[in-house]
Amino acid sequence: MTTYYSKDHEWISVDGGIATIGITSYAQEQLGDVVYVELPDAGTELAQGDEAGVVESVKAASEVYAPIDGEVVEANEALSDEPGKVNEDPEGAAWFLKMKVGNESQLAELLDEAGYKAFVESL
């Protein structure tokens, strides 16, 4: 399983043609206490850069963007009931959605872990 990162602070982990997507630890730290998460329905087609959800915190609301093209196959419904999980485990149990990889070549446009860390340090 390979994990990639976007400059919009999403992580994407790909395993067998299915991508799991969430927000990075850096993103949740910037947001503060998450109080609401809105996710797309299964079957939703997303293009790279499309809004794939919304996360709201006590500080701000922020869009979550699709880092690649694909079709949503599952949303993490547990986040609707317990949005605070995003603060506890943003790069694990608090994933936002799973989607079929629509265009594998787009993965090459994303950052690896070292590249993302360097990007965050430059902010």
Amino acid, res. 57: S
The rounded distance, in Å, linking the Cα atoms of 54 and 44 is 15
What are the average pLDDT values for consecutive 10-residue runs of the chain, which has 123 residues?
95 96 97 96 97 95 96 97 96 98 97 97 96
pLDDT confidence of residue 1: 80
- Write down the pTM of the prediction: 0.95
pLDDT confidence of residue 109: 96
E runs forming strands in 1-123: 2-5, 10-15, 18-23, 34-38, 45-46, 51-57, 61-65, 70-75, 97-101
pLDDT confidence of residue 122: 97
Please name each of the domains of the chain with its CATH number. Answer: 2-103 (2.40.50.100)
The rounded distance, in Å, linking the Cα atoms of 114 and 109 is 14
Of 80, 18, 85, residue with least CA distance to 54 = 80
90 alpha carbon, distance to own chain's centre: 9
